[in-house]
Structures are given as C-alpha cells and as structure tokens.
Structure 1
Amino acid sequence: MSLHHPGGAPRLLTSEFLARRETGSISEGRQEHHHQEQEQQQQHALGGLSHSIPKTHTYLVLLNWNLSKRLPDFWEKAGTCICADGGSNRLHDELPAMMPEQDPEAVRRRFLPSVIKGDLDSIRPEVLAFYKGLGVPIVDSSADQDTTDLTKCIAYIEEHLKLEEAQLQEARCISPRICMEAAEADQRRYQQLQESKQQQQQQQQNEAPNDSVAQQERTSSASGQQAAQLLGTSADRNQGTVQGSTPGLGSERVTLQEGVFLQHKHQIIVLGALGGRLDHTLAAINTLHMFPDLNIVLLGDGNLVRLLPQGRSVIKPDRSIEGPMCGLVPMRGAATATSTGLRWNVDKTRMAFGGLVSTSNKICSDIIEVETDSDLVWTVELKD
C-alpha cells in the first residue's frame, strides 16, 4: 500500500456492485431475503449498468466535464437522463462528434435530456434556448447556493423514487406530471428552509443585537447547517421554467429499510464526475456520502468511484476492464475495516487521513468483500 492513487486511461466500463447493510434493525429473515436478491443481481454489466434493474429505474446524470465516447450506450440503457447545468453544453457539443456520419442537428434532437437542473450559470444561452424550445423541462435551482448541481440532481432523483414508490407505479421521469410533482416537493422544502433561516436569524438578533459582525458569522454558519439538514426548493412555472433546488435530505432521509429496498430498485450513473478540478471531484464524492442509501456510480477520466456503506459490501469486478489498481479510502473519518480479495487486505485495520490509507492496492480475486464500521470510498482504475 501507499498513500497515492495512480491515474488510469479513460474507459467508462464497470461491473455491477452490491452493498449490503447488516444491522439489528432488520430481521434475520429480511437480511436473508436481501442477501438472496443481491446474489441474483451479481452479474457483470456493460457500461456500468446492471441488466437486472429495469430501464425505467436507471438514471444517467451528465456533468460539465469530458463525456465518454460510450455515452450513446449509456443513453440506450437509461430511462432518464438529467443534465446538470453545464452538462447540457457537453451533451449538445460532444454527442454529435461521437456520431460523425449523422447530421449533428438530428443527433441533438434525438438525444433530448429528461430535465436540465442546476444553477443555470454554466449552460450557454443558445443551448438553453435550444432545449427549452424542444420542450425539455428546465429546473432553475439558483435559489439554493448551499449545494452543488450534482447534489441537486441526485436529490431530484431521490424525490422521484419516493414519489413513484408512494404511487405504486414504475418510474417514468419523462412524464411532465411526475416532473411537476417533484418540483412541487422542491417548493415545499425550500419554503421550510427559508423559514428555518429566518427563525435562526431572529434568534441570533435577540441574543446579540449589538454584535453585528459576530451575528452575521453565526447566522452564516447556522444557515449552512440548516441547509445540510433541510435542502429545499421553490417552484415558478413562468415561461415554462421551473424554479427549484434540492429536496429529500435532512430529517426526511429514507429509513434503513427503505434505503435497502431502494438500493435494489434503481441505479444512478454519473458521467463527467471525475477529473478536471480537484474541488469538483471532492464535491462529487461528498455527494455520495450525502446519499448513502442510493446506488450511485461516479465515472470519469479512467476511474470509477462509489460508496461502500457501513456494514458488509460485496464487489464483483469485471477484471478484463477494471483494475488491477484500486483503493479503499476513509473520507468521512476513521474507519476500521476487513477485506478479502485484495493484494494487501486489511484485517480489522484502522484507516484515516493522517495515517494508513489503502491506496495503490490491487484486485486479486473475482469477488471482493469489505466489512467496515464506517463508510469507505471504493476507487478502481478502468483500462482501455
């Protein structure tokens, strides 16, 4: 092991990953049911997508970084594609170049995103006008400056999953009705956030009315904490644009039982999540920790990253394209973990930044198991 992580050549292919939480809050019978379900789903998947999860529950998120040339393959497998702000520019510009034998305008019109969501400060005006003119829903989340565009998109997907399960119907995010319902849920949460901020500010004023500088600092810090717990949105349908931000966090996070259920009913593939600015990459990894119950894969620049939640995780890598270099990184604090299937396994080993971190490890088995008392980040290189 060493304390650095080597780069890899771009290749957005991966196998299916399975994460299982084992806690006393789930009965032994329920644990066995989920274990059997996981075993049935352990199949190698092309393009990072599981064949056992229906297209209607497969989500593709495009970020504002280099997109894989396999984007058309991902698109074919996904039922919903969400562009995060500047990801719309990438889709508009790069996809036609992947199909040089076809008319660029026809390609753009054929591959329309289900929704564009974000601050809308990166999407070019002509790109915004193009997609808006073709009826693509535009969700303006500029009112929320406490979360990234990726976090907004993932929370939007989570809201869809909750709405669809509540309505006992399959996911159809291209439906304007479902999109509007998610946006309305955004609105309610944003209003709650604003009320919380106002109450906090009033409390700060009552405590220290003469200390304006200290008051502003406390208010800013408290507002950030409130946002992390209760990220909300608003809705304004003027001129076909939905105003919104981020739903589904804080005290309303799904329960463990719901989380395990959701994990096997959906998959979220994020393209353009790795590479470029380091702060953007770190923000994407932070989003994984914000949604530990969602099945999210980050891909970009020859790397795959995903969360191994607290408990036991089983990974079946496609060794023809994945590895051998990999890593187990505790990015949320210290973690004590045990692994099998790696060149340098950990055995009840405490890992933390400032100490031991299992990077530059190697895959040595078709099955890798990791048991951890705290969330870990799994990273693996992807071959040409």
Structure 2
Amino acid sequence: MTVAETREFDPGLFLAEGDLPSDTVTPDLLILNQPIASFDVFARLWRHTIYQICADGGANRLYDMFEGALELRRGDFLPDAIHGDLDSLRDDVRAYYTSRGVDVSQDLDQYSTDFGKAMQKIFSRDSPSPQREVIVLGTLAGRVDQGLGLLHELIREESRHPDLQLWLFSESNVSFILKATHNIIQNTLSNRLFTRNVGLLPIYGPAVITTTGLEWDVKDWETQMGHQVSTSNHTVAEEVHVQTNAPILFTIERAVLATGAKPAQRR
C-alpha cells in the first residue's frame, strides 16, 4: 500500500460485493467483545478476510449474532481461533466452537489486553507479505474509557509493527490512522458505501495538516485537542488528500449497506 512518500487507502474495498483486487493484501479479521451492529456489514468483512479470530468474549458476540432467524447460518461463520485470557468466554460458546474444531487458546498475561493478545496470535502466523492488514470489528459507543482504550491500542500496534495497517469498523464508521506523510483516501463518493461525513482528529497529539477534497479544506493548519479540530467535515471529491506531520485519526461514516450479502465460504 505504501508508495514512496504517499500512503493510499480504499476502505470501501472491504464492503464491496465483488472480490478484492488481486494486488490487494487480504486482511485478517479481529472480532472484539463488543456488539456487532450489522450482520450484512459483518458478512462482507468476513468474506474479504483470510483469517478470523475472536478476542476472548468476542466469540460470545459472534455466537449470539446468530440467534433467531440467523441460527441456521452459525456454522457458516466459524472463526479460526478464539484467544485471550478467556475470563469472558461463556462455557456454552466455548463448547460449541471447540466441538467444531476451532482453536481455543489462553494467555494469562495480566499486562496485555485481549486485543493485544489477539494481535500477537495474528503475528505468530506466517504471512506471504511483510504488509499486514487487520480489520477490527468493534465499537466506540458504550463506555468512554473502553472507546479511548481501543483508539490507544490502534496507535500502539501500528507503532510496534510499521508494516501493519489497522481498520476499525465500528457501528457506523470506518476509522484508521493517517501517519506523518501524504495520505490519499480513495473512492469516497462513487461507490456509495459512505456518506460525506468525515472527521480528522488529532487524538495522538498536535499536528499540522493540509487537505484537499473536503468542503472545508485547510492549509498548514495547526490542529490539537482542546484547540481547533476538523470534525463534521464533508467530502466533495472522489479523493481526499491529507498531508500531516504527525499521526491523526481519520473517520468516515458508512452509508446504509444494501442487504443480501453472499454466504461465506469456509476455507
């Protein structure tokens, strides 16, 4: 994804009905212990990932999503692994997935979160490419401390692994970190997978940014929490360009996804 001084992002690829382009790194999927807001979004993300892992109680969320009308489809969405300290994993959920061959493993390290433990599990696997992409299925709603903690873990993991790209798919947005370089967010309008609502948040420290493709573009603009920030901005072009001298969080709102996602194929 990195080309010289420019980093390109196309978050709509993971929500498209078709296959990923052949030159795209196939991501892994990390399911956190947080509500899964949309089955249709979930099914498309699952289809576009090569390895699916639940962080401890994330397995409860996956299992419970298939109550009622979706129950017959539970067996079509078996994760490759469930990993964490396992203090949240219910006995009935563990028994179900274990009986179907899912790898359930425990890490009792009290100095790392289930998110961090799951990321270690992902990196323990061989990869054909040095570039790693991980889709994180979580939420920024609910407890404020947990939402901020999740944003902290995004920057921590990307700082530890320079070739890692994390995508946070929360209840209504896609969020990812723009690093200190020229960043291009592609296909923001034509695929109709997103609304025009975006935000550029300097939650990791002060930054100076220059943008094009937004309704309210800025040039050499100092942004800092507690001072001035570009929230509630709007896309007006197919590409949004952001030059920044420090990491910032970019978030774009998802449009309502058409129903009818294709069934997943178990690899």
Instruction: Give the Cα–Cα distance (whole angstroms) in 2 for the partners of residues 138 and 69 of structure 1.
Output: 24
Instruction: Give the Cα–Cα distance (whole angstroms) in 2 for the partners of residues 274 and 21 of structure 1.
Output: 33
Instruction: Give the Cα–Cα distance (whole angstroms) in 2 for the partners of residues 48 and 274 of structure 1.
Output: 23
After TM superposition, give the deviation of residue 282 of structure 1 in Å. Answer: 1.4
Instruction: Find 1:152's aligned residue among 117, 124, 133.
Output: 117
Instruction: Find 1:118's aligned residue among 84, 92, 108.
Output: 84
Instruction: Classify the secondary structure of the residue corresponding to 2:121.
Output: helix
Identity %: 31
Instruction: Find 2:156's aligned residue among 262, 272, 290.
Output: 290
Consecutive unaligned residues in structure 1, runs of 5 or more: 1-17, 23-34, 165-169, 171-260
After TM superposition, give the deviation of residue 269 of structure 1 in Å. Answer: 1.3
Deviations 1:84-117 (A, max 9, x none): 11110111111354xx2x6x3x533332110101
Match runs of 1:256-271 below 5 Å = 262-263=130-131, 266-271=132-137
After TM superposition, give the deviation of residue 357 of structure 1 in Å. Answer: 1.2
Which residue of structure 2 aligns with residue 330 of structure 1? Answer: 202
Which residue identity does 1:280 align to in structure 2? Q
Given that residues 204 and 247 in structure 2 are in contact (C-alpha distance below 8 angstroms), is that contact kept between their aligned partners in structure 1?
Answer: yes
1:311 equivalent in alignment to 2:184: no
Instruction: Give the Cα–Cα distance (whole angstroms) in 2 for the partners of residues 273 and 54 of structure 1.
Output: 29
Q: What is the RMSD computed on CA atoms of the aligned residues?
A: 2.7
Instruction: Find 2:223's aligned residue among 340, 348, 351.
Output: 351
Instruction: Give the Cα–Cα distance (whole angstroms) in 1 for the partners of residues 25 and 233 of structure 2.
Output: 36
Consecutive unaligned residues in structure 2, runs of 5 or more: 257-267
Instruction: Give the Cα–Cα distance (whole angstroms) in 2 for the partners of residues 130 and 152 of structure 1.
Output: 22
Instruction: Find 2:39's aligned residue among 69, 92, 105.
Output: 69
After TM superposition, give the deviation of residue 368 of structure 1 in Å. Answer: 0.7
Which residue identity does 1:122 align to in structure 2? S
Larger Rg: 1
Which residue identity does 1:271 align to in structure 2? L
Deviations 1:57-86 (A, max 9, x none): 321111122212122222222211101111
Given that residues 92 and 108 in structure 1 are in contact (C-alpha distance below 8 angstroms), is that contact kept between their aligned partners in structure 2?
Answer: yes
Which residue of structure 2 aligns with residue 135 of structure 1? Answer: 101
1:107 equivalent in alignment to 2:73: yes
Instruction: Give the Cα–Cα distance (whole angstroms) in 2 for the partners of residues 90 and 285 of structure 1.
Output: 20
Which residue of structure 2 aligns with residue 378 of structure 1? Answer: 250
Which residue identity does 2:61 align to in structure 1? R
Instruction: Give the Cα–Cα distance (whole angstroms) in 2 for the partners of residues 361 and 57 of structure 1.
Output: 30
Using structure 1 for the length normalisation, give the TM-score: 0.58
Match runs of 1:15-26 below 5 Å = 22=5
Which residue of structure 2 aligns with residue 341 of structure 1? Answer: 213
Which residue identity does 2:168 align to in structure 1? L
User: Which structure shows the higher helix fraction?
Assistant: 1
Which residue of structure 2 aligns with residue 85 of structure 1? Answer: 56
Given that residues 29 and 52 in structure 2 are in contact (C-alpha distance below 8 angstroms), is that contact kept between their aligned partners in structure 1?
Answer: yes
Using structure 2 for the length normalisation, give the TM-score: 0.82
Instruction: Give the Cα–Cα distance (whole angstroms) in 1 for the partners of residues 210 and 157 of structure 2.
Output: 23
After TM superposition, give the deviation of residue 48 of structure 1 in Å. Answer: 6.9
Deviations 1:18-77 (A, max 9, x none): 66673xxxxxxxxxxxx6xx77x8695251798136798321111122212122222222
Q: How many residues align?
A: 247
Which residue identity does 1:51 align to in structure 2? L
Which residue of structure 2 aligns with residue 274 of structure 1? Answer: 140
Instruction: Find 1:365's aligned residue among 224, 232, 237.
Output: 237
Which residue of structure 2 aligns with residue 45 of structure 1? Answer: 13
Instruction: Give the Cα–Cα distance (whole angstroms) in 2 for the partners of residues 57 and 342 of structure 1.
Output: 29
User: Which structure shows the higher strand fraction?
Assistant: 2
Which residue identity does 1:90 align to in structure 2? R
Given that residues 188 and 235 in structure 2 are in contact (C-alpha distance below 8 angstroms), is that contact kept between their aligned partners in structure 1?
Answer: no
Which residue of structure 2 aligns with residue 198 of structure 1? Answer: none
Given that residues 20 and 313 in structure 1 are in contact (C-alpha distance below 8 angstroms), is that contact kept between their aligned partners in structure 2?
Answer: no
Deviations 1:277-305 (A, max 9, x none): 22222122112211323121111221111
Which residue of structure 2 aligns with residue 175 of structure 1? Answer: none
Instruction: Classify the secondary structure of the residue corresponding to 2:111.
Output: coil
